[in-house]
Structure 1
């Protein structure tokens, strides 16, 4: 390979080259077993060692307290949209949701199929270009939980701080920004995240859950959709997505080698600053979509003066080795996803390309 693509895909997304190379070396044979980790029993000692080590790495790097379970599930965040209300939304209670964009809307739609819901705050009136202020959030007295989407990949917005919900469990969809910055896990009742943005390939969903919330699920919920099924079996009730979990293991070791989550947070801020500066210093040639106070560290959304110019930008960027810069089909525009594994060099190359494109077309 002579050149790696400048990969700004929104997900599945870039993985560290060091991780890919290590996985390549271990692909055919893992740990002297004479077989790939994909071929071995999930009940065997070798795989269980990887499984348990991955949990331990998550706990250490993300500072997860001892009274939280770490689960490896399947079905992506989209299945969690249903599992949360199925397990937590009992009769007489209300599931409260902060409406911040496309993914928050999908989570609310699933909860409406299960029980009573309420919108605790919304930025729909401004096309979800900002995160509601924490003071705008109104949690119902009978709330079973408050659900937030920490980072909206399509709109490019992110919570700068999380609401204090007191005794009401805070549920966080951190699929697109988990481990991009330090977080106080104690603020949450449950955190969930599809791995395919910051933690590994698609196929495994990480759930970090306070033990009291997953100890007993309603008996009416199907077995595989019950949190207690997985909590009581160490996520080994059925065959887990073993290769995806192994890849998460390698990514977590890569994060540790980079100095941990706090070091990655500074790195991410340095990366995104390059691109946001190219937008802000363009004199209006580029227009950021997200309100500056709600800008995401992971998804940078912007527009040009016309759709024709945006199409030209996307086409020329592809010719220069950039991948994934078209905005989501539902909103258009342009988007650069700068997840943990996207290197600083890629962000600098994009900022340089943006400045050159403006010079030729401004």
Structure 2
């Protein structure tokens, strides 16, 4: 009798009829939800469009699934507003990118723009040890539907980290690239790698010009101080180092964590202000700000958690990437413009 009642209930609700069950759609939905729940966006950066009369603000996001995606901020704000207007939906709307490419075979840790006036490039780096350059306008003019995107755009530059030779001629694995920085002054690209070295690449020739060697552990971050021909690196060894780009020598070692309580701390992120006079270091336990003119620490604060990213304020917008494929966009005045979930590659 109970079985007959259950059968009648299923027949009364067509949505539960097993004959209409779409196993493939169900599987795709489960995989998509799993992807969104565990995917991390490691970087979200804005494209500077000062020369265009009325530009839509565009940004690029680097993801742990190996994808690199571009977004229209106006579309993201509109989708976010719709999500807030409908209580049954998640607060952060799932937004379709303008373009999405399979940039790397592992997580993409960083992305930076090279704002050439004729051919702007978007550089990405990741766990596979590659640095790749993409034509930004080619990514923005894509007419293919999202389902056909991923491998439709080819990088115009592909740089691979050196493999160091060890005992008996054995070669090490290709070290991952954790951060990149660009010098507009001489067309150089700098990479912070997992083998405790930083590398300087020539964008035009694609050749490695210099290796900065001196850290004793994994590099997390890198920044350029162009006026002084210097590059600054932050490492797992707890130090930040300033290097001379002409000689490749370390000119100064900064130890942001002086407290013995945090002796095992690392430098996870660094930032240099527009005047290139101040250096901010984010560590596993706090933030310190240093004068690059006097080589003194002028501010130090402990934090309850590791500092993931730092940015000096220029009264512009900030894009904060994070866990679950989320991006928050915040104006220079502190107002929250939108939050959206970045769609990944459906593979």
- Normalised TM-score (structure 2): 0.22
Larger helix share, 1 or 2: 1
Larger strand share, 1 or 2: 2
- Normalised TM-score (structure 1): 0.22
Between 1 and 2, higher relative CO (CA 8 Å, sep ≥ 6) is seen in: 1
